[in-house]
A and B are shown apart, each in its own frame.
Chain A
Amino acid sequence: EPEVTQTPSHQVTQMGQEVILRCVPISNHLYFYWYRQILGQKVEFLVSFYNNEISEKSEIFDDQFSVERPDGSNFTLKIRSTKLEDSAMYFCASSGSSSGANVLTFGAGSRLTVL
């Protein structure tokens, strides 16, 4: 079964450092997303990406965050200067027109710990 892969599975960083989380979406999917889940809380939407541009972003996705699809397979989330409250599990997801643009497949997540 096709899957979304994410790296790293866990990253520990110091406050103020830049972090890049990487994702390889399902190969024939066209829509890409980042969500996050702070420990013990609900999953929250960060950003959606289609046709090489951001489609929608939440209020969480401020100027410290950026996304990029640098090549045909990777989809990255960059946090420019991490804060303690950025500690969370970050899930990448993708969806495709054949399965339904709104039927998302999630990756296993990247756990970010900011010290």
Chain B
Amino acid sequence: RKEVEQDPGPFNVPEGATVAFNCTYSNSASQSFFWYRQDCRKEPKLLMSVYSSGNEDGRFTAQLNRASQYISLLIRDSKLSDSATYLCVVLSTDSWGKLQFGAGTQVVVTP
């Protein structure tokens, strides 16, 4: 079983619409969770950390469900510039500094 699983998409989203997608992780000892964004052939860039109580950063909302071992990302009022691959990233307590990346969910925002 993959440590971090994501729906690869693509999610085709009209501009201005809302899109949401999940990520599941297999290691119950995971302690830190992040969403990164990666544009084609570029480096991953931190979008936001994910906190236990859920958190929001502008149009982006992240949720964590430890019982079911998944995290989610919701993008409101999608912009064309939101088109990217969104990487779910997990850090386990026994693997300091060793981030586990999902394969990514592709989002395509269309005019």
Cα–Cα, bound, A50→B97 (Å)? 10
Q: A31–B97 contact, CB under 8 A?
A: yes
The stretch that binds B, out of A13-21, A67-75, A78-86, A105-113, is A105-113
B44 in contact with A48 (CB, 8 Å)? no
* Interface contact A101-B44, CB-CB below 8 Å: no
Taking a contact as CB atoms under 8 Å apart, the answer to whether B98 and A56 are in contact is yes
Q: Are A104 and B43 in contact (CB under 8 A)?
A: no
Summarize B's interface: helix, strand, loop or mixed: strand
Query: What 0/1 readout, one digit per residue, does chain A (28-48) give for beta carbons within 8 Å of chain B?
Result: 000101010000011111001
> Size range of the interface on B?
20 to 34
Tell whether B101 is near chain A: CB-to-CB under 8 Å.
yes
How many A-B Cβ pairs are below 8 Å? 54
Contacts of B101 in A (CB 8 A): 42-44
B80 within 8 A of A: no
Contact partners of A33 in chain B: CB under 8 A: 97
Q: Is the CB of A41 within 8 A of B103?
A: yes
Interface residues of B (CB under 8 A from A): 32, 34, 38, 41-46, 49, 87, 91, 95-104
Q: List residues of A whose CB falls within 8 A of some B CB.
A: 31, 33, 35, 41-45, 48, 50, 55-56, 58, 89, 91, 95, 101-109
